[in-house]
Structure 1
Amino acid sequence: MPTLKINDVEVKVEPGTLLLDACAQAGFPVPSYCYHPTLTPVATCRMCVVEIKGQPKLATSCTTLAADGQEVFTESPAVKDGRAGVMEFLLINHPLDCPICDQAGECKLQDYSYQYGQDDSRMVEPKRRYRYEDLGAKIVIDKNRCIHCTRCVRFTKEISGTYELTVANRGSNLEVTTYAGRSMDENPLAGNVVDLCPVGALTSRDFRFNKRVWYLKPVPTINRHSPMANPMWADVDKNRVWRFRPRPQGTQVSTHYMFDEERLAWHRYDLDPAVRVATPVLRGAPASVEAVAAALREGATAVVGQGTFGCDSAQRLGDLASAPELRYGSGDRVVQIQFPALQLSSDGVLNRRGFSERGYRFGHLDELLAKVKGGEVRSVILLHDEAFSSRAEAAKLREIVEAAPFSLVLEPIPGELSGLATATLPVTTFLEEADFVIDHEGVLKRYQKALQAPKGVKTVAAWAKELAAATQAAHA
């Protein structure tokens, strides 16, 4: 393993480690614009320069490998002067539109200007201006803000493989543009260029001018619409969710990026409390949980749990089944594999494994329907989200609900089955609870509560506990 000194601190790194990563490992992070751990390093921004003893010029740490015996300095006078020069150069043509820029508050140009820049500018000439260019309904580009780090260009080349963006011209006319006026509407990963852009040259039409980021609280959670339950940030304020963003985990490429479908799923969970049902409903009228429990006590009860909910919910709900063999699994969403490096599974039911480990049997809904029609099962409890069931499975579940003498449906976002059920209970969305799932590779992933549920809306586990307590009290 190479051993080197960084600011007189000795550090050992793995062979092939970039000097930029070695500096971060030693506790001396180096600023950068163009570098990204999942993209090819190109050293275009020159912000990551460091001084290496014995070399006549500053070196870009994102393209230099750590070597045995190196002595590296990240805060020498030469390095500080170099960074200040880079910052002055980048700001020469950058517009002063921070007050209206969506990137304000999480902009590296702002941060680095404060940390490494100068107090004034020697620029007296008019700033350069680019023409407007349309990238479609997803992305807005403002090339006047662009610092030509080429992250977005490399992304469309190396990750999405769609090649919409390129670098054209040279010198003061350099610009990031599109091939023959192509938009990014057909790119299912288009929203990631907004995350990659360090300066606000690329912004999201969906989030544009909606919220200032310094008001948002990022809550670590999981991507429920990702087959692998990838980690993500849910940005919330005033008990509302405003956007979803990837939450990268080291060098795992799949955690750095989100599909646009997953990113825009936040709209499903931005629910108006005023229109949400907040009380149990039995036969079309508000009722107590004791009344619902009383109806469940009459005959055998089967439970159908969709594998997109948490393991705690699965365990508590499963305890309500009259017998272990009456736990059935649902959910058959299939995700088309378009990018193998990002999509590690086509099974869109992220917690199928967690439900299976708790006795839920998937693919046996026909068996349950036969038992309901045969009178072996009188009551059915169904935990469901229509976004993760195909039309065929939804039709089968509808048939089960209609055939059962008593049906209790729990849907965070009420759908058709809630309208057909004998009873419903208002349950939380995954943003309103804390739980965990087990992904398809057996990795346990926890997620935190991001939103406060309206009064009367409870977690699946809480309702299951109350139903079980009411049943036991009746038998006491």
Structure 2
Amino acid sequence: MPTIKINDVEMNVNPGALVLDVCRKAGIDIPHYCYHPALTPVATCRMCLVEIKGQPKLATSCTTTVPPAPKDNPEAVVMEVFTNTPAVADARAGVMEFLLMNHPLDCPICDQAGECKLQDYSYSYGSGDSRMAEVKRRYRYEDLGAKIVIDKNRCIHCTRCVRFTREISGGGELTVAQRGSRLEVTTFTGKSMDQNPFAGNVVDLCPVGALTSRDFRFRKRVWFLKSTPSISRHSALGSPIWIDHEGNTAYRFRPRPLEDRNDTHFISDEERYAYAHYNRPDRPAQPLLRGAGATLDAIREALQAAGPAAVIGQGTFGCDTAQRLGELAAAADLRYGSGDKVIPVVLPLLQKSADGILNRRGFSERGFRFGALEELLAKVERGEVKAVVLLHDAAFTSAKESELLGRILKAAAFSLALEVEASDLGRAATAWLPITSYVEESDFIVNHDGELRRYQKALQPPKGVRTVPAWVKELAAVPAAV
């Protein structure tokens, strides 16, 4: 491995690595706008300039690579980089002055305020003065559709959004037009972002307030939000996300990139806008027995009196939930898995699996058998199984599987459904218990690739609603002797 020096500190790095990436891993912040680890580097913003010994001019660290070590002297220092010289500081200040010449002073009303790189870098590297005395440039309004709002006056032409639509989503909706002071990011005639199922990612990519989400726009200032690490339930990939919430309300889901995992920088719009589904504090929280409110003691007595029980666990819940749910089964072979949602693969680069069941692998590792519900139905009809406990979410079950589950519940002497919100299956069961949604609990899953992904509690559940492990602990309790 070649040896380089960064601010007189030696490091061994891989040949071909970008200087910007090397500095970042060394804990040295290199300001940048156009660079993004998942996109092709283009060096358009010139903010990442560094000084390299032996080179007459400053170099863009996002396109400068580390050369290999010479064969005759593998221990030699192949490059000396300086990130804090007066020349570098002067160049960054100059770039900031150019970027701010035409940028509107509308931070108080800009949705990006509080998480804007232009604000951060202006404070850290810019100047408090401006020599711009002329009238600022103005662009015409352009409609990008129902998802994205564009304000070209704020755009700094980093082209991240353009490269995303070309290199990642593939639609090529955005392009760069005109030249010089009239340069603008625009769309081809008649195109919008509405047909792009990953369009929301351009909001995350934009380092300023030029591209904002119509869904989140003007709803909440970001400094009021708390960000909780979680995952997306959309597919078996379990994409890492941030849940941004305040006042027990989720306001948005954002990608939560993992180190050296470029595929985790982006999520689909279906995942992004799913947050609204979990803002349901008024949902039913009363246990039911034969359609009427009941105590947990009554439900537990009915379950234990019914006879041998089987459990059906839908693979969209966590591993701890699966483990505890399995304890209610009368035998190890009476654990069955459900859930058959399929996700159409429209972007193979980011969608490795069409499986729409988040934790199928985690449930399988805990003894839940998928595709065996017909076997359970036969056992129930023969009287070998008297009670059935169903963990269910209607959004991840097809009409065909729902019909089969309904037949199982109808044939059982006693059935208990655990759901976040009551579905037709839940209402058909003998008893029903309200459970927390995944944003109201902490657990983990094993995704399609065998990776363990944890998620943390972001919201408080309604009073009376419990986690599955909490309900199971009560249901499995031995009645006290009288």
Distance 2:449 2:96 in 1: 45
**What is the letter of the counterpart of residue 49 of structure 1?**
L
Counterpart contact for 1:107–1:200, Cα < 8 Å: yes
Instruction: Quickly say closer, same or farther: Cα 1:243–1:417, change in 2 above 3 A.
Output: same
Matches within 5 A, 1:286-305: 286-297=293-304, 298-305=306-313
Matches within 5 A, 1:421-440: 421-440=429-448
Matches within 5 A, 1:315-394: 315-394=323-402
Does residue 276 of the first structure (1) align with residue 283 of the second (2)?
Answer: yes
* Structure 2 residue corresponding to 1:259, chosen from 251, 254, 268: 268
| Partner residue, 2:37 | 37
Counterpart contact for 1:254–1:343, Cα < 8 Å: no
| Partner residue, 1:449 | 457
- The SS at the match of 1:69 is strand
- 1:367 Cα deviation from its structure 2 partner: 1.5
- 1:474 Cα deviation from its structure 2 partner: 5.3
Counterpart contact for 1:222–1:230, Cα < 8 Å: yes
Distance 2:102 2:406 in 1: 61
TM-score by length of 2: 0.96
4+ long deviations beyond 3 Å: none
Does residue 285 of the first structure (1) align with residue 292 of the second (2)?
Answer: yes
Distance 1:118 1:278 in 2: 57
Does residue 117 of the first structure (1) align with residue 126 of the second (2)?
Answer: yes
Distance 2:369 2:256 in 1: 32
Counterpart contact for 1:253–1:342, Cα < 8 Å: no
Does residue 128 of the first structure (1) align with residue 137 of the second (2)?
Answer: yes
Distance 1:397 1:242 in 2: 34
Matches within 5 A, 1:22-421: 22-67=22-67, 68-271=77-280, 273=281, 275-297=282-304, 298-421=306-429
- 1:162 Cα deviation from its structure 2 partner: 0.3
Distance 1:200 1:148 in 2: 12
- The SS at the match of 1:244 is strand
Counterpart contact for 1:22–1:66, Cα < 8 Å: no
Gapped regions of structure 2 (runs ≥ 5): 68-76
Counterpart contact for 2:19–2:65, Cα < 8 Å: yes
Counterpart contact for 1:51–1:57, Cα < 8 Å: yes
Distance 1:357 1:69 in 2: 50
Distance 2:270 2:449 in 1: 23
Give CA-to-partner distance per residue, 1:15-43, whole Å, 9 cap, x none: 11001011112221200000000100000
Distance 1:40 1:250 in 2: 18
Give CA-to-partner distance per residue, 1:51-106, whole Å, 9 cap, x none: 11121111100010123421111111110010001001001111111111111110
- Percent identical among aligned pairs is 67
Distance 1:316 1:33 in 2: 48
Counterpart contact for 2:235–2:355, Cα < 8 Å: no
- 1:311 Cα deviation from its structure 2 partner: 0.7
Counterpart contact for 2:284–2:421, Cα < 8 Å: no
Counterpart contact for 1:327–1:359, Cα < 8 Å: yes
- 1:422 Cα deviation from its structure 2 partner: 1.4
- 1:475 Cα deviation from its structure 2 partner: 7.5
- The SS at the match of 1:418 is helix
Give CA-to-partner distance per residue, 1:330-362, whole Å, 9 cap, x none: 011111222222111111112111111111111
Q: Which moved more, 1:251-260 or 1:124-133?
A: 251-260
| Partner residue, 2:72 | none
**What is the letter of the counterpart of residue 336 of structure 2?**
Y
TM-score by length of 1: 0.97
- 1:372 Cα deviation from its structure 2 partner: 2.0
- 1:389 Cα deviation from its structure 2 partner: 1.0
- The SS at the match of 2:229 is strand
- 1:286 Cα deviation from its structure 2 partner: 1.9
**What is the letter of the counterpart of residue 106 of structure 2?**
D
Counterpart contact for 1:191–1:260, Cα < 8 Å: yes
Distance 2:250 2:307 in 1: 42
Q: CA RMSD in A?
A: 1.3
Distance 1:281 1:44 in 2: 62
- The SS at the match of 2:458 is coil
Distance 1:230 1:20 in 2: 26
Counterpart contact for 2:49–2:59, Cα < 8 Å: yes
Distance 1:299 1:215 in 2: 52
- The SS at the match of 1:181 is coil
Give CA-to-partner distance per residue, 1:266-317, whole Å, 9 cap, x none: 111111x2x2222321112222211111111121211000011011111111
**What is the letter of the counterpart of residue 139 of structure 1?**
I
Counterpart contact for 1:16–1:65, Cα < 8 Å: yes
Gapped regions of structure 1 (runs ≥ 5): none
Does residue 6 of the first structure (1) align with residue 10 of the second (2)?
Answer: no
Give CA-to-partner distance per residue, 1:422-441, whole Å, 9 cap, x none: 11111000011111111122
Distance 1:93 1:475 in 2: 80
Counterpart contact for 1:253–1:341, Cα < 8 Å: no
Counterpart contact for 2:254–2:272, Cα < 8 Å: yes
